[in-house]
Structure formats: C-alpha cells, structure tokens
Chain A
Amino acid sequence: DAGVIQSPRHEVTEMGQEVTLRCKPISGHDYLFWYRQTMMRGLELLIYFNNNVPIDDSGMPEDRFSAKMPNASFSTLKIQPSEPRDSAVYFCASTETGVNTEAFFGQGTRLTVV
C-alpha cells in the first residue's frame, strides 16, 4: 500500500478564496482523521470519521471549515473563505478498528494564505 496520500503537498492562496485539501486513506482502514499543525498550537485534531460518518468535529475551528468523506477511499477538508490565520500544515491520518492500532499519517499539505 502507498500509505495515506494527501494532495496537494503545497497550496498558496489568497485570503477569501476557497481551499480544498484531499486525502486518500490506507485501503481497509475505517477511521480517518484530519489534523492541523502549527508552531503555536502543535498538532490539533480537527475532525474524525468512522466508516465515512463524522464522529467528532469539535476541533473544527469555525464554520468556515467543513469536511466530507463521500466514500471509504476519499475525504476532503474545505476552508471557505480562507484567512491568513489558517496557514498551517494539514495532516490526514487513518487507522483500523482494533486495540491501540497505529495511526498512519500522510505527508501533509502545507497551506499558505496570503
């Protein structure tokens, strides 16, 4: 398996524009997570899905953020409208049901909002 695949790797956009980040989890994994990493706040969980259903979105900072998982092999995180304070590295991770199974992270999308 190629691991968790995220796209794009880098995104630069202007304030006010819509940004869509994409993630393909590892095949067979039934949990998918979106994290945001910044110097100030570290790694924060934004939202996670189980079997394509959002379970906990309490980490989503504002209504400008939304996430979907239309099927087991694809998820998106959308920011609309984007703001400079959204600049961060966004990671997607996946894991499977079981006791303390490992979460596998993608390489991240570095978002810069200017």
Chain B
Amino acid sequence: QQQVKQSPQSLIVQKGGIPIINCAYENTAFDYFPWYQQFPGKGPALLIAIRPDVSEKKEGRFTISFNKSAKQFSLHIMDSQPGDSATYFCAANKGSARQLTFGSGTQLTVLP
C-alpha cells in the first residue's frame, strides 16, 4: 500500500531530447507528489511537486503530468541539457503525515 513504483531505472537521451520518467502508486490516500533531483555526492533536492487536484504542472523545462484515475504521474524534461544528468526520484506523501515514500530512482544521462 505504501509503494511507489518508478521506471525506467536508467535513461539516456541526446541533448534537446525529452526524457520521460514514470511513477505509479497504490495508496489512494496519497495527496502530494514531489519529484526530487539528486547529483552525485549530494542530497536529493526538490524539483517540482503536484497535488492531485490538477492534471499538469509546469516549472521552466520541467512538467509533471498526473492521472488520478490511473494512479500514475510522470516527469517530462523539455529541451534536456547535459546539466540535467542526475538521478530523479518520485515520491508521495499523504495529508498531514510528513514522511515521503520514494520511488526507486531513475538515473538520467543527457549526452552533449
């Protein structure tokens, strides 16, 4: 019930490509879905987050698409750059509970 499944495990795209990372959850009580970005040797940092009352949220080149009925959400990175190469984690949180349940992570490589 607490699991968040993330795919793919790794992704390689050319500069300018649009990598898409997908996540699925089971617990319908989840109501906050952040994406975290992690560079080697650093802690995860919040990239963008969405609540289930909207189907899409965009911040700069990063877009979250949310499908409540399918219990799925995805991250799209427009015009990807080599500097976007990092590990991306989706996560989910419910209500006032503070603990995040993380997906397994996707290692993204953007080739120059």
Contact = CB atoms under 8 A, between A and B. Distances in A.
B44 A45 contact: no
Contact of A45 (B43, B100, B104): B100
A33 B98 contact: yes
Interface residues of A, number: 21
Contacts of A42: 89, 102-105
Contact of A106 (B43, B93, B102): B43
Contacts, number: 47
B43 A105 contact: yes
Nearest to B98: A31
B45 A105 contact: yes
B41 to A, nearest CB: 7
A93 interface: yes
Interface stretch (A12-20, A64-72, A95-103): A95-103
B contact patch SS: loop
Given A4-B43, A43-B89, A93-B43, A103 B100 contact: yes
A64 to B, nearest CB: 22
A91 B38 CA distance: 12
Contacts of A50: 98
B49 interface: yes
Interface of B: 32, 34, 41-46, 49, 51, 89, 93, 98-105
Given A42-B104, A48-B98, A100-B34, 6 more contacts: A42-B102, A42-B103, A45-B100, A45-B101, A56-B99, A108-B42
